[in-house]
């Protein structure tokens, strides 16, 4: 298991719940979660940080950067694809 920061994991969990509630305004008043957009920005920052961290750790391989970027993005898309399809169908 990877060594993850528990504080960031809790923030990600809370952020996911707030974003979910922000987008499910048909079930409740949207005014409870007006700041849901802030967690979207939080996720963009986390994605940028972890992507940069990943490539800095693997920067010793010269000449294979483009191939590594392709495989990195492909693996990320494979992880979220089932959720995106499920969300698109509903």
Tell me which residue has tokens 């995106």: 84
Which residues constitute the domain of residue 20? 6-89
Read off φ and ψ for residue 29, nearest 5 degrees.
-70, 135
Give residue-wise pLDDT tens across range 25-84. Answer: 666 665 566 677 788 888 888 888 888 887 777 766 655 566 777 887 888 889 888 888
In a domain, 65, yes or no: yes
Read off φ and ψ for residue 78, nearest 5 degrees.
-60, -35
Sorting pLDDT into bands at 50, 70 and 90, what band is 1? very low
What total of structural domains would you count in the chain? 1
In a domain, 10, yes or no: yes
In a domain, 45, yes or no: yes
In a domain, 15, yes or no: yes
For the chain, report the end-to-end CA distance as a whole number of angstroms: 33
| d(C-alpha 61, C-alpha 38), whole Å | 36
Q: What pLDDT is recorded for position 33? A: 64
DSSP class of 90: -
Q: What pLDDT is recorded for position 82? A: 85
Q: What pLDDT is recorded for position 61? A: 62
> Which tokens sit at 12?
């990600």
In a domain, 30, yes or no: yes
């Amino acid at each position: 298991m990877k060594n993850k920061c528990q504080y960031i994991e809790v923030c990600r969990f809370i952020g996911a719940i707030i974003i979910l509630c922000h987008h499910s305004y048909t079930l409740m008043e949207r005014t409870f979660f007006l700041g849901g957009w802030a967690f979207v920005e939080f996720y963009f920052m986390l994605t940028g940080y972890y992507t940069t961290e990943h490539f800095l750790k693997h920067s010793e391989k010269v000449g294979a950067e483009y191939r590594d970027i392709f495989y990195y993005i492909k693996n990320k898309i494979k992880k979220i694809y089932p959720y995106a399809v499920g969300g698109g169908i509903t």
